[in-house]
């Protein structure tokens, strides 16, 4: 897939945001941390809204084969870029909330967030690839189930309410995580597998691509909602 995306693009799309996050977590100051989190979020949200509001309607007016040709060039790049931006935005936001000391009683809430995000996403991945009997999927699911269950068991006895705005933000980000990693990204992988098959089915590529473009609009709405919550967390008390 990296070859189709352009190896330089694939490396840069993953390495630059991740290295920026690692830098601000290890050596950066608060303004730098805010900048990385906000920029990753702006790119993630902007691309999702562009796909839903501009690219989707344009592609909807094309013939199936023309639409599939666009997705064959577009999808490999998005498969590297979008999950990276999502991970950096989410990880950057959680660590920033901890750094700014606006996320009280964090560990039980992070345990709930981890379980509520990972388990449904992995189940959706198994469903999309019909992999519920595949030992590899079963192994991953078992590891996540045991790991998230252990995290919950250790932290939930100390559960206490956090700030309501933080709880709302975590709920929205949970929806974004499940939709992005459980539906959109596996859809892109399915499209790629169809692209490199002996007889690519343009209908399959087109249908999954248009579904993902529409779901990007839903992602965009939730992302705009979480921006409102973030603004309230930062300046609502002023």
In angstroms, the CA 128 to CA 132 distance is: 10
* Domain encompassing residue 31: 2-104+162-235
The answer as to whether 90 is a domain residue is yes
In angstroms, the CA 44 to CA 180 distance is: 11
Q: What is the pLDDT of residues 44-86, one digit of tens each?
A: 999 988 888 888 888 888 788 888 888 888 888 888 999 999 9
Q: Quote the pLDDT of residue 238.
A: 39
The answer as to whether 153 is a domain residue is no
The answer as to whether 110 is a domain residue is no
10-residue mean pLDDT profile of the chain (238 residues): values are: 81 95 96 95 91 83 82 85 94 94 94 97 96 96 97 95 93 95 92 87 88 88 90 68
In angstroms, the CA 78 to CA 212 distance is: 11
In angstroms, the CA 176 to CA 115 distance is: 14
Cα→Cα distances 15→33, 44, 131, 170, 186, Å: 17, 16, 30, 26, 21
Report residue 230 as tokens. Answer: 């973030």
Q: What is the pTM of this model?
A: 0.92
Backbone dihedral angles phi then psi of residue 163, each to the nearest 5 degrees = -60, 135
The answer as to whether 132 is a domain residue is no
**Can you say whether residue 6 is alpha, beta or left, with left for phi > 0 and alpha for psi between -120 and 50 degrees?**
left
Q: What is the pLDDT of residues 207-222, one digit of tens each?
A: 898 898 889 889 989 9
The answer as to whether 96 is a domain residue is yes
Q: Quote the pLDDT of residue 28.
A: 94
The answer as to whether 213 is a domain residue is yes
The answer as to whether 57 is a domain residue is yes
Q: Considering its fold, how many domains does the chain have in total?
A: 1
The answer as to whether 82 is a domain residue is yes
The 3-state secondary structure of 45-109 reads HHHHHHHHHHHHHHHHCCCHHHHHHHHHHHHHHHHHHHHHHHHHHHHHHHHHHHHCCCCCCHHHH
């Amino acid at each position: 897939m990296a070859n189709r995306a352009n190896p330089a693009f694939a490396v840069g799309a993953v390495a630059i945001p991740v290295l920026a996050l690692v830098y601000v977590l290890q050596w950066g100051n608060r303004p730098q941390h805010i900048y990385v989190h906000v920029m990753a979020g702006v790119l993630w949200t902007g691309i999702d809204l562009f796909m839903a509001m501009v690219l989707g309607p344009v592609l909807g007016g094309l013939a199936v084969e023309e639409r599939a040709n666009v997705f064959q060039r577009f999808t490999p790049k998005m498969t590297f870029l979008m999950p990276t931006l999502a991970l950096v935005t989410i990880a950057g936001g959680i660590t920033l909330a901890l750094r700014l000391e606006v996320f009280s009683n964090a560990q039980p809430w992070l345990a709930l967030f981890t379980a509520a995000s990972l388990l449904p996403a992995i189940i959706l991945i198994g469903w999309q690839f019909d992999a519920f009997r595949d030992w590899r999927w079963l192994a991953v699911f078992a590891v996540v189930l045991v790991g998230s269950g252990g995290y919950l068991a250790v932290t939930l006895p100390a559960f206490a309410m956090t700030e309501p705005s933080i709880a709302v933000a975590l709920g929205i980000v949970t929806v974004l995580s499940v939709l992005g990693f459980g539906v959109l990204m596996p859809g892109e992988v399915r499209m790629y597998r169809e692209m490199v098959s002996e007889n690519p089915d343009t209908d399959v590529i087109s249908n999954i691509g248009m579904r993902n473009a529409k779901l990007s609009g839903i992602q965009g709405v939730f992302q705009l909602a979480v921006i409102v919550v973030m603004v309230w967390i930062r300046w609502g008390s002023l």
